[in-house]
Amino acid sequence: MTDSEVKILTSYDMNGLLLRNRLAVAPMTRVSASVTGLATPRMTSYYERFAKGGFGLVITEGIYTDQKFSQGYPFQPGIVDQEQALAWRDLTQRIHAHQGAVFAQIMHAGALSQGNRFTDHSAAPSAVRPKGEQMRFYYGEGQYPVPRAMSDEDIADAVSGFAQAAKRAVEEAGFDGVEIHGANGYLLDQFLTDHTNQRADRWGGNTQRRLGLTLEVIKAVRDAVGAVPVGVRISQGKVNDFTHKWANGERDAEIIFGSLSDAGVDFLHVTEFEAWRPAFANNSTSLVGLAHRYAPDATLIANGGLQISEHADFALEEGADLIALGKAALANPDFPKRLAASESFTDFDASILGPIADIKGCELNC
């Protein structure tokens, strides 16, 4: 076993939350909730497998936060009322029973919504049609509609939705912490991104101002949940624009990671398609390395192709504290146990996500 494999299997203290090792399951939407957004027994079994298999931390799929514009897909779970919150309870308890910890990822889809049972239109910072096409494996088809530009009231409702969702996640559902989805092109990333945020008010303008909504959400969530771990997921690439780069390179990274750190996040979850690659063409440091440089006090979770041991080594050297696995965890829900036993890993089979990315075969394998 390499030094970093040994390190990955050691425990980690995230501001008082003790994780048995440094392996996390990355958030993965599985469009398998009930029509009304309730987590189901099938989802409970699906998530329980990861804790049984030894993962120290499980981060849920993106959960919608309000009854306005946040829902992204049909059959996405929500946490907008007590019934939805309590539907997660068995799941969090079962993960705890296997000595795992579990964070709720709270998400607002903004312009990338492709199915929202509360409304027939989407809302975003500006009325700009998103690039790309809706994702078929989440029941989408064709172009994204042009969203409505959010009013001050819509923005206030979105912030309050994140805060209320976080409070329910911790107090009613039993989650150990909350990850705010600020990545991958969804609402908070739409505010951060220059071409999707054309606002002339306090939420638009330079990088610092475009980050303002994320900072406001962090503050509201922190006020709602108190001292439990709160963090943000950040990326450059988006589900509808894989190669997007921050226009001002490392200077943007300094502003973004520095401000998130100042806002008091416990953790930053940095994801890139291949997280070991340099973040910018003129810079040899990865985005993980830049997050560590400008937010040295936050726990750093790295994600993106890190199931390969050399890549995980590199991420740890660049400053990552935890490694999050997506597709490799789907293929190996017992990845940590296999690693500890020096057993081989199963390759990811993309057919389990087609044609719809729901939970297939879980009744048999869970």
Ligand X SMILES: Cc1cc2nc3c(=O)[nH]c(=O)nc-3n(C[C@H](O)[C@H](O)[C@H](O)COP(=O)(O)O)c2cc1C
List residues with catalytic annotation: 186
> Segment near ligand X (CB under 6 A), from 39-47, 77-85, 164-172, 323-331?
323-331
Which own/partner contact pairs does 119-122 have at CB distance under 8 Å and 24+ positions apart?
Answer: 119/68, 119/69, 121/145, 121/147, 121/148, 122/69, 122/147, 122/148
Secondary element (H or E) of residue 113 = none
Helices and strands in the chain, H and E counts: 14, 14
Closer to ligand X by CB, 5 or 254: give it. Answer: 5
184 touching ligand X, by CB under 6 A: yes
Closest separation in Å from C-beta 201 to ligand X: 28
Closest separation in Å from C-beta 148 to ligand X: 23
Closest separation in Å from C-beta 139 to ligand X: 13
Site for ligand X in 247-276 (CB under 6 A): 271
Closer to ligand X by CB, 8 or 28: give it. Answer: 28
61 touching ligand X, by CB under 6 A: yes
Pairing of strands 177-181, 101-107: parallel
Closest separation in Å from C-beta 206 to ligand X: 26
Residues near 151 by Cβ (< 8 Å), separated by ≥ 6?
Answer: none
Site for ligand X in 113-172 (CB under 6 A): none
Site for ligand X in 27-46 (CB under 6 A): 27-29
Q: What is the C-alpha separation between 145 and 128, in angstroms, rounded?
A: 9
Pairing of strands 278-280, 283-286: antiparallel
Secondary element (H or E) of residue 16 = none
181 touching ligand X, by CB under 6 A: yes
Q: Are 119 and 37 in contact (CB under 8 A)?
A: no
188 touching ligand X, by CB under 6 A: no
Site residues, ligand X (CB under 6 A): 26-29, 61-62, 105, 181, 183-184, 233, 271, 303-305, 325-328, 353, 357
